[in-house]
Structure 1
Protein backbone atom coordinates (compact mmCIF):
# COMPACT_ATOMS: atom_id res chain seq x y z
CA UNK A 1 0.00 0.00 0.00
CA UNK A 2 1.35 3.38 -1.02
CA UNK A 3 2.31 5.90 1.67
CA UNK A 4 -0.13 8.47 0.22
CA UNK A 5 -2.97 5.99 0.54
CA UNK A 6 -2.05 5.26 4.16
CA UNK A 7 -1.97 8.99 4.92
CA UNK A 8 -5.46 9.36 3.41
CA UNK A 9 -6.76 6.50 5.55
CA UNK A 10 -5.25 7.98 8.72
CA UNK A 11 -6.70 11.41 7.91
CA UNK A 12 -10.16 9.93 7.38
CA UNK A 13 -9.82 8.03 10.65
CA UNK A 14 -8.79 11.21 12.46
CA UNK A 15 -11.73 13.07 10.90
CA UNK A 16 -14.15 10.35 12.01
CA UNK A 17 -12.79 10.28 15.57
CA UNK A 18 -12.78 14.09 15.85
CA UNK A 19 -16.33 14.27 14.50
CA UNK A 20 -17.54 11.78 17.11
CA UNK A 21 -15.64 13.41 19.98
CA UNK A 22 -16.96 16.87 19.03
CA UNK A 23 -20.41 15.48 19.84
CA UNK A 24 -19.54 13.01 22.62
CA UNK A 25 -17.23 15.03 24.89
CA UNK A 26 -18.94 18.44 25.41
CA UNK A 27 -21.65 18.67 28.11
CA UNK A 28 -25.07 18.11 26.49
CA UNK A 29 -23.24 17.55 23.18
CA UNK A 30 -22.16 21.18 22.82
CA UNK A 31 -23.22 23.12 19.72
CA UNK A 32 -24.61 19.96 18.14
CA UNK A 33 -27.56 19.97 20.54
CA UNK A 34 -28.70 23.37 19.31
CA UNK A 35 -28.57 22.16 15.72
CA UNK A 36 -30.44 18.96 16.60
CA UNK A 37 -33.13 20.81 18.54
CA UNK A 38 -33.71 23.40 15.82
CA UNK A 39 -34.01 20.75 13.11
CA UNK A 40 -36.35 18.57 15.18
CA UNK A 41 -38.75 21.34 16.16
CA UNK A 42 -38.64 22.83 12.68
CA UNK A 43 -40.06 19.62 11.22
CA UNK A 44 -42.22 18.80 14.24
CA UNK A 45 -44.05 22.12 14.07
CA UNK A 46 -44.52 21.84 10.31
CA UNK A 47 -46.34 18.53 10.77
CA UNK A 48 -48.93 20.28 12.94
CA UNK A 49 -49.33 23.28 10.63
CA UNK A 50 -49.50 21.24 7.41
CA UNK A 51 -51.38 17.96 7.54
CA UNK A 52 -50.25 17.00 4.03
CA UNK A 53 -46.64 17.26 5.16
CA UNK A 54 -47.42 15.06 8.18
CA UNK A 55 -48.94 12.42 5.89
CA UNK A 56 -45.85 12.53 3.66
CA UNK A 57 -43.57 12.09 6.69
CA UNK A 58 -45.72 9.21 7.96
CA UNK A 59 -45.74 7.40 4.62
CA UNK A 60 -41.97 7.74 4.16
CA UNK A 61 -41.43 6.35 7.67
CA UNK A 62 -43.82 3.44 7.31
CA UNK A 63 -41.84 0.19 7.60
CA UNK A 64 -42.87 -0.93 4.13
CA UNK A 65 -41.39 2.22 2.63
CA UNK A 66 -37.91 0.83 3.31
CA UNK A 67 -38.53 -1.35 0.26
CA UNK A 68 -38.54 1.82 -1.85
CA UNK A 69 -35.03 2.75 -0.67
CA UNK A 70 -33.86 -0.77 -1.49
CA UNK A 71 -35.50 -0.44 -4.89
CA UNK A 72 -33.73 2.87 -5.54
CA UNK A 73 -30.36 1.34 -4.70
CA UNK A 74 -31.20 -1.74 -6.75
CA UNK A 75 -32.13 0.34 -9.79
CA UNK A 76 -28.85 2.25 -9.62
CA UNK A 77 -26.98 -1.06 -9.37
CA UNK A 78 -29.06 -2.45 -12.25
CA UNK A 79 -28.06 0.50 -14.43
CA UNK A 80 -24.42 -0.61 -14.20
CA UNK A 81 -25.32 -4.31 -14.28
CA UNK A 82 -26.97 -4.03 -17.70
CA UNK A 83 -23.79 -2.53 -19.17
CA UNK A 84 -21.55 -5.33 -17.97
CA UNK A 85 -20.39 -8.53 -19.63
CA UNK A 86 -21.41 -11.85 -18.01
CA UNK A 87 -18.02 -11.92 -16.31
CA UNK A 88 -18.53 -8.35 -15.10
CA UNK A 89 -21.96 -9.20 -13.74
CA UNK A 90 -20.51 -12.08 -11.79
CA UNK A 91 -17.99 -9.69 -10.26
CA UNK A 92 -20.79 -7.20 -9.48
CA UNK A 93 -22.54 -9.96 -7.56
CA UNK A 94 -19.37 -10.46 -5.53
CA UNK A 95 -19.17 -6.70 -4.92
CA UNK A 96 -22.78 -6.65 -3.73
CA UNK A 97 -22.19 -9.49 -1.26
CA UNK A 98 -19.05 -7.76 0.04
CA UNK A 99 -21.03 -4.55 0.46
CA UNK A 100 -23.74 -6.32 2.43
CA UNK A 101 -21.26 -8.11 4.69
CA UNK A 102 -19.37 -4.85 5.31
CA UNK A 103 -22.60 -3.05 6.22
CA UNK A 104 -23.69 -5.75 8.69
CA UNK A 105 -20.27 -5.93 10.39
CA UNK A 106 -19.80 -2.17 10.57
CA UNK A 107 -23.31 -1.66 11.91
CA UNK A 108 -22.62 -4.12 14.73
CA UNK A 109 -19.30 -2.44 15.52
CA UNK A 110 -20.99 0.98 15.51
CA UNK A 111 -23.32 -0.09 18.30
CA UNK A 112 -20.32 -0.83 20.49
CA UNK A 113 -19.84 2.92 20.91
CA UNK A 114 -20.46 3.94 24.56
CA UNK A 115 -23.67 5.82 23.74
CA UNK A 116 -27.28 5.25 24.78
CA UNK A 117 -29.36 7.89 23.07
CA UNK A 118 -33.15 8.07 22.76
CA UNK A 119 -34.74 9.75 19.75
CA UNK A 120 -35.95 13.36 20.12
CA UNK A 121 -39.59 12.25 20.25
CA UNK A 122 -38.74 10.39 23.47
CA UNK A 123 -36.28 12.98 24.80
CA UNK A 124 -38.44 16.10 24.61
CA UNK A 125 -41.79 16.49 26.32
CA UNK A 126 -45.07 17.56 24.72
CA UNK A 127 -43.99 16.77 21.17
CA UNK A 128 -46.08 15.67 18.23
CA UNK A 129 -45.78 12.07 17.02
CA UNK A 130 -46.52 11.67 13.33
CA UNK A 131 -48.15 8.30 13.95
CA UNK A 132 -50.66 9.98 16.28
CA UNK A 133 -51.25 12.95 13.96
CA UNK A 134 -52.03 10.76 10.96
CA UNK A 135 -53.04 7.35 12.31
CA UNK A 136 -50.38 5.75 10.11
CA UNK A 137 -48.12 3.31 12.03
CA UNK A 138 -44.90 5.12 11.17
CA UNK A 139 -41.52 4.72 12.86
CA UNK A 140 -41.25 7.95 14.83
CA UNK A 141 -39.33 6.91 17.95
CA UNK A 142 -36.35 4.83 19.02
CA UNK A 143 -34.90 4.06 22.44
CA UNK A 144 -31.42 3.70 20.92
CA UNK A 145 -31.06 5.90 17.86
CA UNK A 146 -27.27 6.44 17.79
CA UNK A 147 -25.73 5.73 15.35
CA UNK A 148 -28.45 5.67 12.71
CA UNK A 149 -28.63 2.17 11.22
CA UNK A 150 -30.59 3.18 8.14
CA UNK A 151 -28.34 6.13 7.41
CA UNK A 152 -25.21 4.04 7.87
CA UNK A 153 -26.39 1.45 5.36
CA UNK A 154 -27.11 4.17 2.81
CA UNK A 155 -23.72 5.84 3.30
CA UNK A 156 -21.90 2.51 2.97
CA UNK A 157 -23.76 1.85 -0.29
CA UNK A 158 -22.66 5.28 -1.56
CA UNK A 159 -19.02 4.58 -0.63
CA UNK A 160 -19.04 1.28 -2.50
CA UNK A 161 -20.60 2.92 -5.56
CA UNK A 162 -17.81 5.50 -5.59
CA UNK A 163 -15.05 2.91 -5.09
CA UNK A 164 -16.19 0.49 -7.81
CA UNK A 165 -18.29 2.56 -10.24
CA UNK A 166 -16.93 6.09 -10.16
CA UNK A 167 -17.84 9.62 -9.13
CA UNK A 168 -21.14 9.82 -11.02
CA UNK A 169 -22.31 6.69 -9.23
CA UNK A 170 -21.25 8.33 -5.96
CA UNK A 171 -23.37 11.41 -6.71
CA UNK A 172 -26.39 9.24 -7.50
CA UNK A 173 -25.82 7.28 -4.28
CA UNK A 174 -25.48 10.52 -2.34
CA UNK A 175 -28.88 11.69 -3.59
CA UNK A 176 -30.40 8.36 -2.56
CA UNK A 177 -28.80 8.69 0.87
CA UNK A 178 -30.19 12.18 1.50
CA UNK A 179 -33.67 11.37 0.17
CA UNK A 180 -34.10 8.21 2.22
CA UNK A 181 -32.23 9.21 5.40
CA UNK A 182 -34.07 12.53 5.79
CA UNK A 183 -37.53 11.06 6.62
CA UNK A 184 -36.20 9.50 9.84
CA UNK A 185 -35.01 12.94 10.93
CA UNK A 186 -38.25 14.65 9.90
CA UNK A 187 -40.30 12.18 11.95
CA UNK A 188 -38.07 12.56 15.00
CA UNK A 189 -37.09 8.88 14.97
CA UNK A 190 -33.49 10.07 14.71
CA UNK A 191 -31.58 13.16 15.65
CA UNK A 192 -29.73 14.84 12.80
CA UNK A 193 -26.47 13.92 14.54
CA UNK A 194 -27.41 10.23 14.66
CA UNK A 195 -26.59 10.25 10.97
CA UNK A 196 -24.32 13.28 10.43
CA UNK A 197 -22.10 12.35 13.39
CA UNK A 198 -22.89 8.76 14.39
CA UNK A 199 -23.28 7.02 11.04
CA UNK A 200 -20.73 9.18 9.23
CA UNK A 201 -17.98 8.87 11.85
CA UNK A 202 -18.28 5.06 11.91
CA UNK A 203 -18.20 4.91 8.10
CA UNK A 204 -15.20 7.25 7.85
CA UNK A 205 -13.17 4.95 10.07
CA UNK A 206 -14.44 1.58 8.90
CA UNK A 207 -14.85 2.10 5.17
CA UNK A 208 -11.44 3.74 4.79
CA UNK A 209 -9.75 0.52 5.94
CA UNK A 210 -12.10 -1.57 3.84
CA UNK A 211 -12.12 0.34 0.53
CA UNK A 212 -8.77 2.16 0.48
CA UNK A 213 -6.76 -0.95 1.23
CA UNK A 214 -6.65 -4.20 -0.79
CA UNK A 215 -9.10 -5.76 1.69
CA UNK A 216 -12.36 -5.27 -0.24
CA UNK A 217 -10.74 -6.28 -3.54
CA UNK A 218 -9.43 -9.48 -1.97
CA UNK A 219 -12.89 -10.35 -0.62
CA UNK A 220 -14.50 -9.55 -3.99
CA UNK A 221 -11.95 -11.61 -5.89
CA UNK A 222 -12.32 -14.54 -3.48
CA UNK A 223 -16.10 -14.50 -3.82
CA UNK A 224 -15.79 -14.16 -7.58
CA UNK A 225 -13.68 -17.32 -7.71
CA UNK A 226 -15.69 -19.24 -5.08
CA UNK A 227 -19.33 -18.56 -5.90
CA UNK A 228 -21.06 -21.31 -7.89
CA UNK A 229 -22.12 -20.69 -11.47
CA UNK A 230 -20.59 -19.88 -14.83
CA UNK A 231 -17.97 -17.34 -15.90
CA UNK A 232 -15.57 -17.97 -13.03
CA UNK A 233 -12.29 -16.10 -13.53
CA UNK A 234 -9.28 -18.15 -14.52
CA UNK A 235 -6.83 -18.95 -11.74
Structure 2
Protein backbone atom coordinates (compact mmCIF):
# COMPACT_ATOMS: atom_id res chain seq x y z
CA UNK A 1 0.00 0.00 0.00
CA UNK A 2 1.33 3.45 -0.92
CA UNK A 3 2.14 5.72 2.01
CA UNK A 4 -0.26 8.41 0.74
CA UNK A 5 -3.08 5.88 0.63
CA UNK A 6 -2.35 4.79 4.20
CA UNK A 7 -2.26 8.41 5.36
CA UNK A 8 -5.65 8.99 3.70
CA UNK A 9 -7.12 5.97 5.47
CA UNK A 10 -5.76 7.07 8.83
CA UNK A 11 -7.10 10.60 8.33
CA UNK A 12 -10.55 9.26 7.44
CA UNK A 13 -10.42 7.04 10.54
CA UNK A 14 -9.45 9.98 12.70
CA UNK A 15 -12.27 12.04 11.21
CA UNK A 16 -14.79 9.28 11.91
CA UNK A 17 -13.61 8.81 15.49
CA UNK A 18 -13.55 12.55 16.23
CA UNK A 19 -17.01 12.92 14.70
CA UNK A 20 -18.40 10.17 16.92
CA UNK A 21 -16.66 11.38 20.08
CA UNK A 22 -17.81 14.97 19.49
CA UNK A 23 -21.34 13.61 19.91
CA UNK A 24 -20.73 10.80 22.40
CA UNK A 25 -18.55 12.49 25.06
CA UNK A 26 -20.21 15.87 25.83
CA UNK A 27 -23.03 15.89 28.41
CA UNK A 28 -26.35 15.53 26.57
CA UNK A 29 -24.35 15.36 23.31
CA UNK A 30 -23.32 19.02 23.43
CA UNK A 31 -24.17 21.23 20.46
CA UNK A 32 -25.39 18.22 18.49
CA UNK A 33 -28.48 17.90 20.69
CA UNK A 34 -29.48 21.53 20.10
CA UNK A 35 -29.11 20.98 16.37
CA UNK A 36 -31.09 17.72 16.52
CA UNK A 37 -33.87 19.34 18.51
CA UNK A 38 -34.12 22.32 16.17
CA UNK A 39 -34.31 20.11 13.09
CA UNK A 40 -36.85 17.75 14.62
CA UNK A 41 -39.31 20.38 15.86
CA UNK A 42 -38.86 22.41 12.66
CA UNK A 43 -40.27 19.51 10.66
CA UNK A 44 -42.68 18.33 13.36
CA UNK A 45 -44.43 21.69 13.62
CA UNK A 46 -44.64 22.04 9.84
CA UNK A 47 -46.60 18.79 9.60
CA UNK A 48 -49.38 20.33 11.69
CA UNK A 49 -49.39 23.67 9.90
CA UNK A 50 -49.26 22.12 6.42
CA UNK A 51 -51.29 18.92 5.93
CA UNK A 52 -49.89 18.48 2.41
CA UNK A 53 -46.40 18.36 3.87
CA UNK A 54 -47.53 15.80 6.45
CA UNK A 55 -48.95 13.68 3.63
CA UNK A 56 -45.63 13.89 1.75
CA UNK A 57 -43.71 12.85 4.88
CA UNK A 58 -46.10 9.96 5.48
CA UNK A 59 -45.88 8.66 1.91
CA UNK A 60 -42.08 8.86 1.81
CA UNK A 61 -41.88 6.96 5.11
CA UNK A 62 -44.33 4.25 4.16
CA UNK A 63 -42.49 0.91 4.08
CA UNK A 64 -43.32 0.37 0.45
CA UNK A 65 -41.60 3.63 -0.47
CA UNK A 66 -38.25 2.00 0.32
CA UNK A 67 -38.66 0.24 -3.02
CA UNK A 68 -38.39 3.63 -4.71
CA UNK A 69 -34.92 4.16 -3.26
CA UNK A 70 -33.94 0.70 -4.48
CA UNK A 71 -35.28 1.58 -7.93
CA UNK A 72 -33.27 4.82 -7.94
CA UNK A 73 -30.06 2.99 -7.06
CA UNK A 74 -30.91 0.22 -9.51
CA UNK A 75 -31.52 2.71 -12.32
CA UNK A 76 -28.13 4.30 -11.72
CA UNK A 77 -26.49 0.90 -11.69
CA UNK A 78 -28.37 -0.18 -14.83
CA UNK A 79 -27.10 2.88 -16.71
CA UNK A 80 -23.65 1.28 -16.54
CA UNK A 81 -24.88 -2.30 -16.96
CA UNK A 82 -26.56 -1.72 -20.34
CA UNK A 83 -23.36 -0.48 -21.96
CA UNK A 84 -21.16 -3.32 -20.70
CA UNK A 85 -19.91 -6.48 -22.33
CA UNK A 86 -20.93 -9.84 -20.81
CA UNK A 87 -17.64 -9.92 -18.91
CA UNK A 88 -18.21 -6.38 -17.69
CA UNK A 89 -21.74 -7.22 -16.60
CA UNK A 90 -20.44 -10.13 -14.56
CA UNK A 91 -18.02 -7.76 -12.85
CA UNK A 92 -20.85 -5.31 -12.10
CA UNK A 93 -22.83 -8.16 -10.57
CA UNK A 94 -19.88 -9.12 -8.39
CA UNK A 95 -19.37 -5.51 -7.30
CA UNK A 96 -23.05 -5.43 -6.34
CA UNK A 97 -22.74 -8.62 -4.30
CA UNK A 98 -19.67 -7.28 -2.50
CA UNK A 99 -21.56 -4.05 -1.82
CA UNK A 100 -24.44 -5.93 -0.18
CA UNK A 101 -22.07 -8.03 1.93
CA UNK A 102 -20.20 -4.89 2.99
CA UNK A 103 -23.43 -3.12 3.92
CA UNK A 104 -24.60 -6.04 6.07
CA UNK A 105 -21.23 -6.29 7.83
CA UNK A 106 -20.89 -2.57 8.54
CA UNK A 107 -24.48 -2.39 9.75
CA UNK A 108 -23.80 -5.17 12.25
CA UNK A 109 -20.56 -3.52 13.39
CA UNK A 110 -22.34 -0.17 13.73
CA UNK A 111 -24.74 -1.63 16.25
CA UNK A 112 -21.80 -2.66 18.42
CA UNK A 113 -21.25 1.00 19.27
CA UNK A 114 -22.01 1.68 22.95
CA UNK A 115 -25.11 3.69 22.11
CA UNK A 116 -28.79 2.95 22.24
CA UNK A 117 -31.39 5.67 22.14
CA UNK A 118 -34.92 6.20 20.94
CA UNK A 119 -35.98 8.36 18.04
CA UNK A 120 -37.09 11.94 18.79
CA UNK A 121 -40.76 10.99 18.44
CA UNK A 122 -40.29 8.68 21.44
CA UNK A 123 -37.84 10.89 23.33
CA UNK A 124 -39.88 14.10 23.44
CA UNK A 125 -43.35 14.42 24.91
CA UNK A 126 -46.39 15.94 23.22
CA UNK A 127 -45.07 15.56 19.69
CA UNK A 128 -46.91 14.87 16.47
CA UNK A 129 -46.68 11.46 14.82
CA UNK A 130 -47.18 11.59 11.07
CA UNK A 131 -48.90 8.21 11.15
CA UNK A 132 -51.53 9.64 13.50
CA UNK A 133 -51.88 12.89 11.56
CA UNK A 134 -52.49 11.16 8.23
CA UNK A 135 -53.69 7.66 9.08
CA UNK A 136 -50.92 6.22 6.92
CA UNK A 137 -48.82 3.50 8.65
CA UNK A 138 -45.55 5.36 8.16
CA UNK A 139 -42.31 4.63 9.97
CA UNK A 140 -42.10 7.55 12.41
CA UNK A 141 -40.49 6.00 15.48
CA UNK A 142 -37.69 3.66 16.50
CA UNK A 143 -36.61 2.36 19.89
CA UNK A 144 -33.01 2.07 18.66
CA UNK A 145 -32.30 4.63 15.96
CA UNK A 146 -28.50 4.95 16.22
CA UNK A 147 -26.80 4.57 13.81
CA UNK A 148 -29.25 5.09 10.98
CA UNK A 149 -29.41 1.79 9.07
CA UNK A 150 -31.19 3.20 6.03
CA UNK A 151 -28.83 6.17 5.77
CA UNK A 152 -25.78 3.94 6.16
CA UNK A 153 -26.85 1.71 3.27
CA UNK A 154 -27.33 4.74 1.03
CA UNK A 155 -23.94 6.20 1.97
CA UNK A 156 -22.22 2.87 1.30
CA UNK A 157 -23.85 2.80 -2.16
CA UNK A 158 -22.51 6.30 -2.87
CA UNK A 159 -19.01 5.27 -1.77
CA UNK A 160 -19.05 2.28 -4.10
CA UNK A 161 -20.14 4.57 -6.94
CA UNK A 162 -17.11 6.73 -6.17
CA UNK A 163 -14.73 3.78 -6.01
CA UNK A 164 -15.80 1.81 -9.07
CA UNK A 165 -17.68 4.19 -11.37
CA UNK A 166 -17.54 7.87 -12.35
CA UNK A 167 -17.56 11.23 -10.54
CA UNK A 168 -20.98 11.92 -12.08
CA UNK A 169 -22.29 8.63 -10.72
CA UNK A 170 -20.97 9.60 -7.28
CA UNK A 171 -22.74 12.98 -7.41
CA UNK A 172 -25.99 11.29 -8.45
CA UNK A 173 -25.57 8.74 -5.66
CA UNK A 174 -25.08 11.56 -3.15
CA UNK A 175 -28.35 13.10 -4.30
CA UNK A 176 -30.00 9.71 -3.70
CA UNK A 177 -28.52 9.70 -0.17
CA UNK A 178 -30.03 13.11 0.60
CA UNK A 179 -33.43 12.51 -1.02
CA UNK A 180 -34.05 9.13 0.59
CA UNK A 181 -32.49 9.63 4.03
CA UNK A 182 -34.19 12.98 4.67
CA UNK A 183 -37.73 11.53 5.05
CA UNK A 184 -36.68 9.52 8.13
CA UNK A 185 -35.45 12.73 9.74
CA UNK A 186 -38.54 14.70 8.74
CA UNK A 187 -40.81 12.06 10.29
CA UNK A 188 -38.76 11.91 13.48
CA UNK A 189 -37.92 8.23 13.02
CA UNK A 190 -34.28 9.27 13.19
CA UNK A 191 -32.33 12.11 14.70
CA UNK A 192 -30.19 14.06 12.23
CA UNK A 193 -27.14 12.77 14.10
CA UNK A 194 -28.21 9.14 13.66
CA UNK A 195 -27.10 9.62 10.07
CA UNK A 196 -24.63 12.50 10.18
CA UNK A 197 -22.71 11.12 13.17
CA UNK A 198 -23.72 7.47 13.51
CA UNK A 199 -23.82 6.31 9.90
CA UNK A 200 -21.00 8.59 8.74
CA UNK A 201 -18.57 7.65 11.51
CA UNK A 202 -19.03 3.93 10.84
CA UNK A 203 -18.58 4.41 7.09
CA UNK A 204 -15.53 6.66 7.46
CA UNK A 205 -13.74 4.14 9.66
CA UNK A 206 -14.90 0.84 8.21
CA UNK A 207 -15.23 1.58 4.52
CA UNK A 208 -11.89 3.37 4.25
CA UNK A 209 -10.07 0.14 5.14
CA UNK A 210 -12.30 -1.80 2.76
CA UNK A 211 -12.32 0.36 -0.37
CA UNK A 212 -8.94 2.11 -0.16
CA UNK A 213 -7.08 -1.16 0.26
CA UNK A 214 -7.18 -4.26 -2.00
CA UNK A 215 -9.69 -5.88 0.39
CA UNK A 216 -12.86 -5.47 -1.67
CA UNK A 217 -11.07 -6.16 -4.95
CA UNK A 218 -9.80 -9.38 -3.40
CA UNK A 219 -13.36 -10.33 -2.47
CA UNK A 220 -14.56 -9.58 -6.01
CA UNK A 221 -11.79 -11.75 -7.48
CA UNK A 222 -12.68 -14.59 -5.13
CA UNK A 223 -16.35 -14.31 -6.06
CA UNK A 224 -15.40 -14.32 -9.73
CA UNK A 225 -13.51 -17.57 -9.33
CA UNK A 226 -16.10 -19.19 -7.06
CA UNK A 227 -19.50 -18.30 -8.52
CA UNK A 228 -20.71 -20.24 -11.57
CA UNK A 229 -21.18 -18.58 -14.92
CA UNK A 230 -20.10 -18.62 -18.52
CA UNK A 231 -17.62 -15.81 -18.02
CA UNK A 232 -16.18 -16.76 -14.64
CA UNK A 233 -12.49 -16.27 -14.02
CA UNK A 234 -10.39 -19.38 -14.51
CA UNK A 235 -7.46 -18.42 -12.30
Corresponding residue of 1:213: 213
Q: Structure 2, unaligned stretches of length 5 or more? A: none
Corresponding residue of 1:189: 189
Whole-angstrom CA distance in 2 between matches of 1:149 and 1:218 = 26
| SS, match of residue 142 in structure 2 | coil
Provide the aligned length of Structure 1 versus Structure 2.
235
* Structure 1 residue 233, shift from structure 2 partner: 2.9
Whole-angstrom CA distance in 1 between matches of 2:163 and 2:224 = 17
* Structure 1 residue 83, shift from structure 2 partner: 1.2
Corresponding residue of 2:101: 101
Corresponding residue of 1:54: 54
Matched, 1:115 2:115: yes
Corresponding residue of 1:13: 13
Whole-angstrom CA distance in 1 between matches of 2:228 and 2:69 = 29
* Post-superposition CA distance 1:166-187 (Å, at most 9, x none): 2111101100000000000000
Corresponding residue of 1:154: 154
* Post-superposition CA distance 1:32-59 (Å, at most 9, x none): 0010000000000000000000000000
TM-score (norm 1): 0.99
- 1:7-156 aligned at under 5 Å gives the runs 7-156=7-156
Whole-angstrom CA distance in 2 between matches of 1:78 and 1:56 = 28
| SS, match of residue 198 in structure 1 | helix
Whole-angstrom CA distance in 2 between matches of 1:134 and 1:184 = 16
Whole-angstrom CA distance in 1 between matches of 2:166 and 2:222 = 22
* Structure 1 residue 229, shift from structure 2 partner: 1.1
Runs of 4+ with >2 A deviation: none
Whole-angstrom CA distance in 2 between matches of 1:26 and 1:62 = 34
